[in-house]
């Protein structure tokens, strides 16, 4: 076994690899960009070395620099994690040539899978089922159009090199083909440096099921059963689980055999994932092999009771597979979701910024957190905005879903917006609960997973609970301050809100982001009357529990809610969870001058976030319609199309292709038609 390895990655995967290395007594070497100098993976590693600028191409994609660090540090092997250089065959070759072990498949296997077109042809020859389509090298638009027409619609255009949902489009008729082809090729060229595409029949309402495989240097290949990843948005996985609730034992056996066959066809070693698309009729087709460890590997670890990173290390060190196929267990049910800094209500725009507050459930036998940041860290604009992976396990799927709902309710993130509330709605949705979701469900019916207006009575109860929690918190702080003061018996130090002219009358202004209400509170010590727009709510026996819960009786009904109070910022905030819905209130000053009206942005196209301009689709002086596309920018590994806010004439274009722009920068200025 190795005594020291370098991890050529960052964030949660680097932290994950470090955790296993510690249990095996292996020292770790981290690398970091300028943006990651204070990152958690740097702090957790035994040694860490800078490798360049904040952009991936200036640091984590500089294979020669990373290899040089490994040699200087005396690392015997390099673990590439996933993403960045993990599927770069040239890097794997360079590592091996330098006498360092690459903890992953051989470069030859990567090259066979590096092209989706070549991989498909190879799998077809090996007897693995593949989707009908076109994988030829002739990429002329006219020929691709003819091939598409021959395959029939709907069909999928896919970048031949790359993954992660980049360079993929669904085309439903011939007229849509060429515009989608151009967009797909452009995105593939920006993401992977090559714009070759392949075409294949699009399977309606498919399930996405993948098989975890492992191969060793002694010719053995086995599978560790499946993961289902059908809950997707724009080809990005949102929820992963194992085992799949869709598979029958017979289908599981057939897909496992096909996955092993695929691994043997390319002499596979180490961890890999064979991905299949499965129709509603149970017919399955090869999609691709990801020649690396996958983001969702923890669900496999939970149900098999195995450490897949440990397997990777042992196989890379030349050991045989630790278990035979018949020894692989499948125990209970595991589900994973990813907590992202993104705004689902704004098209899932990735976010960035300091994590002013980060509360996650405590890990235990049923709950696992794989994270790469802690409270106070910054989610940067340069990398994937994932905050953490939340994984739960229980004896069966219904109990695992219940665990997941409870774990999500314990999460609180302040700073950049997050997808937690979206995930909570997702895991309660009928198609998730009934296991009928397919890969297109979220894109077809995203509104069903977006927030609905709150019932007014429910909102009133939530406001009252937030007011009570705020009062209890303030009273506790007042008592603490009084006890520490020189005159603890002063009437001004009383915690009941008493002042000259009124006894216990307190005004609270609470803003939930959609509505601002002024509440009048009377009482103290856990017994209050809350006046909300002329309606009185009686709160009795209120208490903030040691576990962070608020227990009370509201109008005679006993309730228990999760509560999280943060008064460290300029405006105090209270977050509530009633078991089904998340509420967030900001307490504003009770008396303040009227706010000035903000400047209009109706004449400008603004950058929604930091990014790079990749395409300008208009010119100065050109007339445009409202919502006409004018710019395309790339941010956090995705393309964003920016549209005209109204009809008019383009008066100014303040950027050029390739420019890097900051959030809220004015990119285009509109004028009126003559």
Report, as residue numbers or ranges, the catalytic residues: 292
CB atoms within 10 A of CB 56: 18
Q: What angle do CA 172, 173, 179 make, to 5 degrees?
A: 90
CA–CA separation, 162 vs 576, rounded Å? Answer: 42
What angle is formed at CA 528 by the lines to CA 522 and CA 533, rounded to 5 degrees? 65
Q: Is the peptide bond before 243 cis (omega within 30 degrees of 0)?
A: yes
Burial label for 498, CB within 10 Å (0-12, 13-18, 19+), is middle
The C-alpha atoms of residue 293 and residue 289 are separated, in whole angstroms, by 11
Q: What is the DSSP-derived secondary structure letter of residue 571?
A: S
Torsion sign, CA atoms 384, 296, 259, 93: positive
Give the integer Cα–Cα distance in Å for 570 and 584. Answer: 16
Of 261, 288, 284, 264, the C-alpha closest to 274 is 288
Q: Of 446, 453, 434, 421, which is closest to residue 578 (Cα–Cα)?
A: 421
Nearest CA to 252 among 328, 160, 352?
328
Q: What is the CB neighbour count within 10 angstroms for residue 441?
A: 20
Name which of 96, 300, 120, 302 is nearest 104 in CA terms. Answer: 96
Report the distance separating Cα 508 and Cα 518, nearest Å: 6
Residue 395, H or E segment: none
b/e map 575-604, b = 16+ CB within 10 Å: bbbbeebbbbbbbeeeeeeeeeeeeeeeeb
Sheet holding 629-635, edge to edge: 638-643, 629-635, 611-616, 660-661
- Name the burial class of residue 494, with classes exposed (0-12), middle (13-18) and buried (19+) by CB atoms within 10 angstroms of its CB: middle
Cα–Cα distance, 640 to 621 (Å, whole number): 23
For residues 376 and 358, give the distance between their C-alpha atoms in angstroms, rounded to a whole number: 8
As a whole number of angstroms, the distance between CA 631 and CA 618 comes to 8
Spatial neighbors of 142 by CB under 8 A, at least 6 apart, are none
């Amino acid at each position: 076994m190795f005594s020291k390895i370098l991890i050529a990655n960052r964030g949660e995967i680097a932290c994950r690899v470090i955790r296993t290395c510690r249990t095996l007594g292996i020292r770790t070497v981290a690398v970091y960009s300028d943006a990651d100098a204070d990152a958690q993976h740097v702090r957790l590693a035994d040694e860490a070395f800078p490798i360049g600028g904040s952009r991936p191409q200036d640091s984590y994609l500089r294979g020669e620099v990373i290899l040089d660090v490994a040699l200087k540090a005396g690392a015997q092997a390099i673990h590439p994690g996933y993403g960045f250089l993990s599927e770069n065959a040239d890097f794997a070759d360079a590592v091996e040539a330098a006498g360092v072990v690459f903890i992953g498949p051989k470069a030859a296997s990567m090259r066979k899978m590096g092209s989706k077109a070549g991989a498909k042809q190879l799998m077809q020859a090996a007897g693995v089922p593949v989707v009908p389509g076109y994988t030829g090298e002739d990429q002329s638009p006219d020929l691709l159009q003819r091939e598409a027409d021959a395959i029939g619609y709907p069909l999928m255009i896919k970048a031949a090199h790359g993954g992660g949902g980049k360079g993929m489009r669904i085309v439903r008729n011939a007229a849509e083909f060429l515009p989608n082809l151009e967009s797909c090729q452009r995105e593939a060229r920006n993401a992977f440096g090559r714009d070759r595409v392949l075409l294949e029949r699009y399977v309606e309402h498919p399930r996405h099921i993948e098989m975890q495989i492992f191969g060793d240097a002694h010719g053995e290949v086995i599978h560790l059963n499946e993961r289902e990843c059908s809950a997707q948005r724009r080809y990005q996985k949102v929820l992963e689980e194992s085992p799949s609730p869709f598979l029958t034992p017979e289908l599981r056996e057939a897909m496992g055999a096909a996955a092993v066959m695929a691994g043997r066809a390319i002499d596979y070693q180490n961890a890999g994932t064979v991905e299949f698309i499965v129709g509603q009729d149970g017919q399955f087709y090869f999609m691709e092999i990801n020649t690396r460890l996958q983001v969702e590997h923890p669900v496999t670890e939970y149900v098999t009771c195995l450490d897949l990173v440990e397997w990777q290390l042992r196989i890379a060190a030349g050991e045989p597979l630790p278990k035979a196929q018949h020894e692989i267990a499948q125990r209970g049910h595991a589900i994973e979701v990813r907590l992202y800094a993104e705004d689902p209500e704004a098209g899932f725009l990735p976010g960035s910024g300091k994590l002013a507050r980060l509360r996650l459930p405590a890990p235990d036998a049923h709950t696992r957190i794989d994270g790469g940041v802690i409270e106070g860290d910054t989610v940067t604009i340069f990398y994937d905005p994932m905050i953490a992976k939340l994984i739960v396990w229980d004896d069966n799927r219904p109990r695992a879903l219940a665990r997941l709902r409870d774990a999500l309710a314990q999460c609180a993130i302040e700073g950049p917006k997050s997808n937690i509330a979206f995930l909570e709605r997702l895991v309660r949705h009928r198609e998730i609960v009934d296991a009928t979701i397919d890969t297109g469900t979220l894109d077809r019916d995203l509104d069903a997973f977006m927030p609905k207006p709150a019932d007014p009575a429910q909102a009133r109860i939530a406001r009252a609970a937030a007011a009570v929690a705020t009062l209890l918190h303030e009273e506790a702080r007042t008592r603490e301050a009084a006890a520490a003061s020189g005159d603890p018996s002063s009437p001004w130090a009383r915690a009941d809100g008493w002042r000259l002219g009124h006894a216990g009358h307190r005004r609270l202004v609470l803003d939930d982001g959609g509505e601002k209400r002024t509440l009048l509170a009377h009482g103290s010590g856990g017994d209050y009357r809350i006046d909300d727009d002329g309606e009185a709510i009686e709160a009795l026996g209120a208490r903030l529990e040691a576990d962070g819960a608020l227990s009370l009786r509201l109008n005679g009904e006993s309730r228990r809610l999760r509560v999280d109070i943060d008064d460290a910022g300029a405006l105090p905030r209270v977050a509530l969870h009633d078991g089904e819905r998340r509420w967030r209130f900001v307490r504003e000053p009770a008396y303040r001058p009227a706010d000035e009206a903000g400047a209009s942005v109706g004449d400008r196209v603004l950058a929604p976030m930091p990014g790079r301009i990749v395409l300008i689709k208009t010119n100065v002086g050109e007339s445009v319609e409202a919502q006409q596309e004018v710019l395309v920018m790339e941010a956090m590994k995705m393309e964003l199309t920016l549209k005209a806010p109204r009809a008019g004439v383009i008066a100014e274009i303040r950027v050029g292709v390739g420019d890097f722009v900051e959030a809220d920068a004015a990119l285009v200025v509109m004028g009126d038609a003559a």
